[in-house]
Amino acid sequence: MDEKTAQRFIERYEEARSALPGAGGWLARRREAALESFREAGLPHRRLEDWKYTDLRQTLEKAAFASAPAHEGAVVLPGRRSASAFAAIDRHVLVFVNGRYRTDLSQVVRLPKGVELHALADVVHEQWAKDLVERRFDDARQAENIVDLNTALMSDGACLRIRKGVKLDKPLHLLFFSADAGASHTRNLVFLENEAEATILETHVGEVASFADIVTDIAIGEGARLNHVKLQDEASDAVHLATMRARLAAEAKLSSFTLTLGCGVSRGQSFVLFSGEGAEANIDGAYALRDKQHADQFCVIDHAVPACTSHTLFKGVLDGKSVGVFQGKVIVRPHAQKSDGRQMTHALLLSRDAAMNAKPELEIYADDVQCAHGSTVGELSKEAIFYLRSRGIPEAEARRLLVLAFLEEVLDLAPHNQAKDALKLLVSEWFGEAAP
């Protein structure tokens, strides 16, 4: 492997290995194995089918990110509304600056009995953490080199464990802020035991050139419920790479929603595996892009057992020379009868120079199933704009109303009412900023 960018990451591991969490234990050995795997595979490139629309190797080579420094002292969040979008929600808050947990900036008060919340270094000795970190997905082969990179270099992260039958009293907000230029590698672990419930809000903001490498491993026990709302609004020269790997036991439910507004290049990867019957996963999202932004959504849902339900809907608007990507796959294994898997993506082009690439797939090996997928790409209706203008509405406002109406269906899927309202306001203001 002679790729220079990958070699730089390997050198950074060698420099930081003694200071990384878990030195001397099982995690140190796992890091070494991950690094060797990454050394052989290197960074993904466009010759790989799963990466044909996003050239991560070239992007990181051009940016040449060094490691982000540990930022001490006060921080000033960006003035944009996204940084405080969830401020009105009563919540617990964990703040990460340059990928590192800041106790002094976080606000966690009186967690219910049975809720354990830690930084990564505090749980590396726990068996449940080991099980999550070491888990691999059969149909995530082309993503494993990215997970291996994160495993080798992960320096911090939020680790949440909720005991059987316990409900987190209010949402947990994970706020990730890039204060200084550079790369950060974060690992989040979420373990909900049987019948547990939680809502997680996640925000990524920053105004500097940065590379955010995030992996979130999730295990949801029987009958447990996890709601997840993610907001991404980073600098135009930032790179955001996020991988979510979730395993659902019988009757478990995962509802995850992502709104992508900012970032130069972003890719969100979701891998969901049903391990128990009657489980449900909703992986949805919206994006609003402009200028030369590039956003890639990649989703694989594996119906490995019977009678599970999955729903995926992504809708987005693209302006300027922005590029959107949706790649999704629903897999129904042999004997996974009574599976219900649906996957749709819709894009609205506001500019002749904007582009959308969509590739939804079904891979079905059972016969008693209900599965569907589809994709549309279009532009604003001239007739609808003319109708609104004939009623005295200015063209810019008419376009804004039509865009909001287009996105409202998917925004309504955000699994928290106050967060949903905040996201709708952000989208409305985004269009106001983009309008001529």
Lowest mean pLDDT among 48-62, 85-99, 327-341: 48-62
Q: Read off the pTM.
A: 0.95
CB of 49 closer than 8 Å to CB of 142? yes
Q: Tell me the Ramachandran region of residue 195: left when phi exceeds 0, alpha when psi lies from -120 to 50, beta otherwise.
A: left
CA distance 305 to 28: 34
- Where do the structural domains in the chain lie, given as residue ranges? 4-379
Work out the pLDDT band at 274, boundaries 50, 70, 90: very high
pLDDT reading at 78 higher than 80: no
> What number of other Cβ atoms are within 10 A of residue 219's Cβ?
23
Give the tokens for residue 52: 């044909």
pLDDT confidence of residue 140: 62
286 in Cβ contact with 314 (< 8 Å): yes
DSSP secondary structure letters along 336-405? -TT-EEEEEEEEEESSTT-EEEEEEEEEE--SS-EEEEEEEEEE--HHHHHHHHHTT--HHHHHHHHHHH
Is the pLDDT reported for residue 334 higher than 50?
Answer: yes
Does the structure show a pLDDT above 60 at 433? no
Nearest CA to 91 among 106, 80, 74? 106
Strands 340-349 and 158-162: unpaired
Both structure tokens of 302: 């594996």
Cα distance between residue 91 and residue 105, in whole Å: 14
3-state secondary structure of 211: strand
Contact 333, 364 (CB under 8 A): no
CB atoms within 10 A of CB 127: 9
Percent of the chain exceeding pLDDT 70 equals 97
What span, in angstroms and rounded, lies between the C-alpha atoms of 297 and 282? 14
Instruction: Enter the tokens of residue 298.
Output: 């990649």
For residue 3, what pLDDT is reported?
Answer: 73
354-383 CB burial, b ≥16 within 10 A, e <16: bbbbbbbebebebeebebebebebeebeee
The answer on pLDDT for 131 being more than 50 is: yes
What's the mean pLDDT when you consider all of the chain? 93
Q: What local confidence, expressed as pLDDT, does residue 1 receive?
A: 44
The confidence score (pLDDT) of residue 216 equals 97
The mean-pLDDT minimum among 55-69, 214-228, 397-411 falls in 55-69
Using the predicted structure, report yes or no on whether residue 2 has a pLDDT greater than 70.
no
pLDDT of residue 142: 63
For 355-381, the pLDDT digits (tens) are: 999 999 999 999 999 999 999 999 999
End-to-end Cα, the chain, rounded Å? 48
The per-residue pLDDT for 61 is: 86
Contact 9, 38 (CB under 8 A): yes
pLDDT of residue 23: 83
Task: Please state the rounded mean pLDDT for residues 321-331.
Answer: 96
95 strand-pairing partners: 175
For range 294-300, the mean pLDDT: 96
Average pLDDT over residues 288-303: 96
In whole angstroms, give the CA distance from residue 286 to residue 338.
29
Above pLDDT 90, what percent of the chain?
A: 81
